[in-house]
Structure 1
């Protein structure tokens, strides 16, 4: 079992880390553009560059967490996040601005969910599922906390001082990350204990195929998340809702996301992650279909926001828990670090792609595009369910499971 104080500290660190990095552009982007006179392409291009850096550094970070543990990696990440925020606060030229976002891209990969999931898998092994779900509860509130906080700070002190404060918040996460134990999962052998189940992808060929399906699912979910984060309000307004109504309906996405994650924490432990992933992917296309009617009916707009938020919230959790049942947990960081590279690189283009689609084909076309991507994700989830079913209680011990180190700490 992972200690409650570790989960609480890591959950709070996720809330702060997401708030001062990933959601930074949503809170300050327009202010930076207005103050410096830069185009939105430059402002939001910096964020896109950070996502590319996350993808390029992902395999290395995954190996570092496997080898050194999450504590050292995430402490360094907190310092890198602070440097990136301070760099943005001091930016007067595009070169400094983009360099700061590149620094933040590395910091985000070192501190956000994927690093945290790998850290939990290293210390909790197959038992890390609940802890993964629990830290997303606080992480999911990052925008709700830091968007208004950032607005208050910038109103009183300006956006540069607000970003320096964000650098300070990033430093505050260092003692939280130091709570993570620097050990590797091990279970003392017991004669009456059930034998550990085989990873469902137990041979190289199945690892490759299962990994490909996992990559499709995570990339599709992240692409939709990036596109909706940038354009959800504009799409709802473009379909006929007033801007104020579109804004408050879009905020319901966060409520749906947090509610779904809470349900998963309370009741999801009995549900196979592959099944849970399939259910979320199954309802995702219907969310975007409901959105098509959002302009004519506020109720359908509300259904769109809540249902999409719920599906996205669950998929964030299964992104961490699927590898626990599919692959050997001892190589979690290394393997997943490679598989999620496309889920950072391709979504970096999502805001621009959605903007082009909306400009050329209308707001409804953005929802048709989203429904199509959600359907592809659903097909991959269904294939994962069919090809990697849940093992029975009599599953044999994994032939690749080394038992010589059990009961020892690394």
Structure 2
């Protein structure tokens, strides 16, 4: 939405402006008696009903005419009675301007949205109309910056879970049409989170399961999605184990297993991938990257040999470096290649799942570090003892030499005295 407008300035009394719009819509004679009797809402009903004709008015007159209608409606204490019909009209094609029509209608809807009080429930209806228009006109880029405000809007409008679910689904559809796969996926997840996790019937309902499958397929086919914890943690997706066990098995493989398991799945469920419209080449590539990530995470030495990678990924040795580069680009692992040693030096890895096996690996790694530190400590302790012993020996040597020098000096002094005394006699 555009920056919020607080006022629309139009000169004239309600009766004069309503008569002007009525004449423009060719119903001036019908509403004049109502205006004379100060029956404003009755006059507005006729104006709003006739306003469908505005969709065929010349492009240069469209915005002004609709803004006048909106201004008049906002004067009524029953504004919420009229706005949904106006929004519905604006969601329909603007026949006088097939090219610019969606943009013109969106501008009027945005004006309505911004003029309403933040907690006005009709704002929800206006926003839905905006979504329909954005979808029809391919205008998602205009909506995208405003979506970060959606959560606070829903709270202000006090929208229940069912309506939130529908709204999130609409946004997902709009994003998908615009090629925004990640945005679409995130709003499908938002829809799934509106189901009550404590209600078994709700999370296993047809609607919940269809949405879960949609989210799962989107994640499987995404070129950038490798972490499936966001799905496996959802009760609705967990319920797929009963309603769609093969999909549930496939998710488990992508979430925590390896390429060999995927190949076994393909053999066991021959034709399933193709029948369900999934892309085996994408899934196969993704499983290789995930398998390499798991292999790196389970390597305590942080040096992964090329031959191990080749075997796990079922690829020729000459292709190993290409796959390592791909897994680094995917953000699953950080490290560098050592062509000389024929190893992948691992700096950082991402665990696909963190369970009992991974805790054991961490424990093993900690034990290795402890043993290494213990060995280092022992070496340092020995070196320190040797250094102290050497220092003590050096001190003793210095003291010994000092004592010897002291004795020689005393002897020289005594001998000199005797000679003098002898000379005196």
TM-score bracket, normalised by the shorter chain, equals under 0.3
Relative to total residues, which structure has the larger helix share, 1 or 2? 1
Report the TM-score when normalising by structure 2: 0.21
Report the TM-score when normalising by structure 1: 0.22
